[in-house]
Structure 1
Amino acid sequence: MRTSAYTTVRPRYGFSDVVGLLFRETLLMVVIFLVVFAIGTAAVLTLKKTYTATASVYAGAGQEYVYQSRVGQIDPSQPLEADAVAGAEARILGSLAVKRRAIRAVGADTILGPRAAGTPAEKEAAALKALDSGLGVGVTPGSAIIAVSYESDDPVRAAQVLNAVVDQYLVQRRQIFQGSTTPAYAAQREAFEDDLTTADAAYNAFLESNDIGDFATFKASLAASYQTTLAEALSLRAQLNQASQRLATLEAQLAQQPAEVVLQQDLNISAQDQILTLRTQREALLSRYTPEAQPVRDIDQQIADLQAYVATGTTVGPKEVRTGPSTIFTEIETTRITAAADRDGLAARLAVAEGQLNQLRARLAEMTRLESTNANLAGNRETLTTLVRDFQQRESAARANSALVAAGADNVNVIERAEAPTRGTSLKAPLLAVVFLFAAFTALCVGLLRVFTRRGYVTPASTGRTLDMPVLAVAPMKAR
């Protein structure tokens, strides 16, 4: 008995199959597009125009943006860059506190307009939400200008609200930067003045007991003398080593040089002189005899014998030798004596320098023993003096700064206040384009969903691709 197994195979479509099937769903896609586009268009057409009021605020770098430590030396650093100051002021301008002050200044009904309804708390919450969504604060990199804007459906209300925000921002920042540290600075200054009086008395008693006028100056001069003497001793030690090595080298060279050398030496060259004499006689005989004559031949024989004797190399030798003292030996000996004297002089100077070093080292040890006590007393006195001067300056500066901030003298100025805008803006055109694209995309997605959820084999190409079998013929579907 044969059994059969059945499996479900989804149709496999190509690009041309998908395009062809999409054309079959054209009516459905058009209906979906029109429905979505109509709904989106109706929603967009209900939007109202918005009016944007703008204002500009200049925020320069002032004293509040220069770092100053509360305790210690007053050493103000460089102020922040223009865009950094503008960014900090923009955060203050857009803070929640400024928005609440603006709402209380103009009222929640002014911000909400006809939409105002509910309890005062609910109105304030709604106004805060509307103000937060409509208010825009922006800065430009490298610029100290803060651009402020507010969007509303009423141009007059937009300008009124924006001006209220700017005014309350100026009030808020003055309250933030107006300090109240003057009494605290004065109290600290008085306390440090009392401590300084006690420290002065203790330090003066220490100097008198150790018979020291100025500890720092005395020790500095002593240390300078020690360093100079130490450098001189090191230099003398190096020169002494160099002189000793030079003397040893000269003594070694002197041992290799002879005390006397040959000054002049006369050579014995009588054989060469005899040859020249015989040649002269031969020339004289040739004037009377022929070369084959016996007297000429005898002289030639004598010349040949003498030349053979000279060729042996034993005919030339010293005849007279004169000796004397060597100039190199004398020069080296003179240099050696000078080098020995220099070495002895350097050794004596080095002994004196080392003695001075020992004395200076002992005196420095005594000063080092007293240094910790002096450092504690002097450091305490200097610290208290610096703190008293510091708090005097801070007290005066804080008093003047509080008065100036309260009077409104700061680095922020309103360049342009808000006025009611005459032209509104609407996003209907770009929103309609977005609605059109969304409707087209939705219709396309519905068409593809219909194509890929269809059951059965719709096209010959997909049938052959799915079953991996060739399609030989296509018959029209029989009507039911």
Structure 2
Amino acid sequence: MRTTAYNTVRPRYGFADVVGLLFRELLLMVVIFLAIFAVGTAAVLTLKKSYTASASVYAGVGQEYVYQPRVAGQAERIGQAPEADAVAQSEAAILGSLEVKRRTVRALGPETVLGEGAGGTAAERETAALKVLDNNLGVGTTPGSAIISASYRSGDPQRAAQILNALIDQYLVRRREVFRDRADPAPYAAQRAAFEDELAAADTAYAAFLRSNDIGDFATAKATLAANFQTVSAETLSVRAQLNQASQRLATLEAQLGQQPAEVVLQQDLNISAQDQILQLRTQRENLLARYTEDAQPVRDIDEQIAQLQAFVATGTAVGAKEVRTGPSAIFTEIETVRINAAADRDALAARLRVLESQLSTLRTRLAELTRLESTHATLAGNRETLTAAIRDFQQRESQSRAERALVAAGADNVTVIERAQAPTRGSSLKAPLLAVVFLFAAFTALCVGLLRVFTRRGYVTPASTGRTLDLPVLAVAPVKAR
């Protein structure tokens, strides 16, 4: 018995086969194309023109964009300003924020944004107006520029300009509120008050420290003690040297005093009677020569007496102390006086040295005590100085914040509206590009329908497709017999 198996094979088409078959479906494709294009064209022609109002805002670098640490000194609070485009992007974010849009809708009313035919509750109308405002609003910046471009698209040119100008006004109000809150001096005042309380406690502790240690001003007291210590130390060395000098001088005077007699001869009368007798005898001899010759016996007697007396004087025993008067030695007395004065000076220097050494010991002890207390004083004084500097800094910040808040509230900021929105005179429409889109869509749909008809057709339509599908040569083609 012979068994036959059947297998369904889809026709295999080439490019020429597909093109030829599409031409067979040309009428259907044209009908579909015309139907879709007609419907799309009718829908596009119903679109209205839209008017886009534009405005520009200059956002420069202000103080609010310069970073300043909250806790730092005046020198450390000088920050670096950001780039102009960074400031513009930040301001653009505020301009396009939901809060600014909500305030704009509430200021104008949802009917202004949506039109007169808006329905629904107030909340629904506000939500719908926010959606419309968000969809039609455009905010952009240019890299490297501080200019913010804003635009709003609407079917009414007057409404577009009105909504955009209201949006800019609400943006200016909102940014002032934002940066006024940033410049609120209340936190600085509270922190300053807290530091003042801490400073009062630090002053009390510092005053108790000075009072308990009997110090008026620590720095002055230590400097005075150091100066006095140096002065007393130098004077002690000088007095010690003077005392050694006075002691050596006194020892020398005592040694000299031991070598000097206490009494000396003040006056001494000599016995010179032999010389007087010789003079008297010579005088008598001269008188005798007036009466006698030299050979006379009286003259020779006197000559013998003179010769005997001269021989006696020549022996050296003829002259002797007749009367001697003694008294205290002037040199001994002077040396003794100088010695007494030197002893008094030495004793005075010794007493002065003891006083100076006592003062030096007291000063050294006091200096050591102040050195021991210096770390405690440095801690207390440093705490007071730090708190005082912090209070001064926060007072300055509070004043600056108050002035900045007042200036921001008055409108003195770094944002300037260069150009407000004006009602546009030319509208824009998307009819031409939409018609092109409709044309392409209609052509694509018609082509898809034609291809669908081609690939869903049953049987072998062309000889080339038949030979390709069955892998057999087609020898002849017979026309289709009409039913």
Normalised by the length of structure 2, the TM-score is 0.62
The residue aligned with 1:30 is 30
Amino acid at match of 2:48: K
Aligned residue for 2:437?
Answer: 434
Between structure 1 and structure 2, the one with the greater Rg is 2
Cα distance in 1 between the residues matched to 2:382 and 2:466: 99
Contact 2:61–2:414 (Cα < 8 Å) also in 1 = yes
Letter in 1 for 2:53: A
1:182-224 deviations in Å (ceiling 9; x for gaps): 2331232232234245446767959x89xx969xxxxxxxxxx
State which of 168, 171, 189 in structure 1 corresponds to 2:170: 168
Report what 1:177 is aligned to.
179
Give the alignment of 1:17-416 within 5 angstroms.
17-74=17-74, 75-179=77-181, 181-196=184-199, 198-199=201-202, 205=209, 380-381=383-384, 383-416=386-419
Q: Flag the 1:382–1:465 CA change in 2: closer, same or farther, 3 A.
A: farther
User: Match of 1:96, as an amino acid?
Assistant: L
Secondary structure at the aligned position of 1:55 is classed as: strand
Q: Secondary structure at the match of 1:115?
A: coil
What's the counterpart of residue 265 of structure 2?
A: none
Distance 1:387 1:470, change over 3 A: same
Match of 1:414, SS state, is strand
Cross-structure match for 2:15:
15
SS state of the match for residue 178, structure 1? helix
Alpha-carbon shift at residue 409 of structure 1 (Å): 0.5
Equivalent in the alignment of 1:335: none
Measure the CA separation in 1 of the matches of 2:40 and 2:198. 80
Distance in 2, Cα, partners of 1:183 & 1:42: 64
CA displacement 1:103-161 (0-9 Å, x = unmatched) = 22222222222323333333322222222222111111111111111111111111111
Cα offset for 1:2? 2.2
Identify the range of structure 1 (431-440 vs 379-388) with the bigger mean alpha-carbon deviation.
379-388
2:226 maps to none
Identity rate, percent: 74
Partner amino acid, structure 2, of 1:73:
G
Give the 4+ runs in structure 1 shifted more than 3 A.
196-206, 369-383
Name the residue aligned to 1:467.
Answer: 470
Query: Which of 474, 477, 480 lines up with 1:477 in the alignment?
Result: 480
Residue type at the aligned position of 1:474: V
CA shift at 1:433, angstroms? 0.8
Return the alpha-carbon distance in structure 1 between the equivalents of residues 88 and 42 of structure 2: 43
Partner of 2:229: none
CA contact (8 A) 2:184 2:405 kept: no
1:445 aligned residue (423, 435, 448):
448
The alpha-carbon distance between structure 1 residues 182 and 469, as it changes in their structure 2 partners (threshold 3 A), is same
Q: CA separation in 2, counterparts of 1:31 and 1:383?
A: 91
Map Cα deviations across residues 41-74 of structure 1 (whole Å, 9 max, x no partner): 0110000001111111111111111122223335
Deviation at 1:370, TM superposition (A): 10
**Aligned partner letter, 2:159:** R
Write the distance in 2 (CA, Å) between the matches of 1:375 and 1:203: 10
Q: Pick closer, same or farther for the CA change 1:7–1:388 going to 2, 3 Å.
A: same
Cα distance change on mapping 1:2 and 1:371 into 2, 3 Å: farther
Q: d(CA) in 2 for partners of 1:402 and 1:34?
A: 67
Separation of aligned partners in 1, 2:456 and 2:374: 96
The Cα of 1:36 is off from its aligned counterpart by 1.0
Query: SS of the residue aligned with 1:31?
Result: helix
For these two proteins, the number of residue pairs brought into alignment is: 329
Q: Single out whichever of 463-472 and 384-393 deviates more from structure 2.
A: 384-393
Tell whether 2:427 aligns with 1:424.
yes
Distance 1:8 1:382, change over 3 A: farther
Taking structure 1 as reference, are residues 463 and 372 closer, same or farther at Cα in structure 2, changes over 3 Å only?
farther
Q: Distance in 2 between matches of 1:19 and 1:427?
A: 35
Letter in 1 for 2:97: S
Residue aligning to 1:5: 5
Question: In the superposition, relative to structure 1, how do residues 372 and 8 fare at CA in structure 2: closer, same or farther (>3 Å)?
Answer: farther
Describe the SS at the equivalent of 1:53. strand
Counterpart-to-counterpart distance in 2, 1:89 and 1:419: 22
Alpha-carbon deviation of 1:430? 0.9
Give the SS at the match of 1:79: coil
Deviations 1:217-237 (Å, cap 9, x if unpaired)? xxxxxxxxxxxxxxxxxxxxx
CA distance in 2, matches of 1:383, 1:213: 18
Q: What's the secondary structure of 1:3's corresponding residue? A: coil
Q: Aligned-pair distance for 1:29?
A: 1.0
Quickly say closer, same or farther: Cα 1:33–1:213, change in 2 above 3 A: same
- Contact 2:61–2:84 (Cα < 8 Å) also in 1: yes
SS at match of 2:194: helix
TM-score scaled by length of structure 1 = 0.63
* Pair 1:456–1:402, CA change in 2 (3 A): same
* Code of the aligned partner of 1:462: S
Flag structure 2 segments of 5+ consecutive residues without an equivalent: 221-371
1:114 aligns to what SS in structure 2? Answer: coil
Cα separation, 2, equivalents of 1:51 and 1:23: 46
Residues 262-313 of structure 1: CA distance to partner in whole angstroms, max 9, x if unpaired?
Answer: xxxxxxxxxxxxxxxxxxxxxxxxxxxxxxxxxxxxxxxxxxxxxxxxxxxx
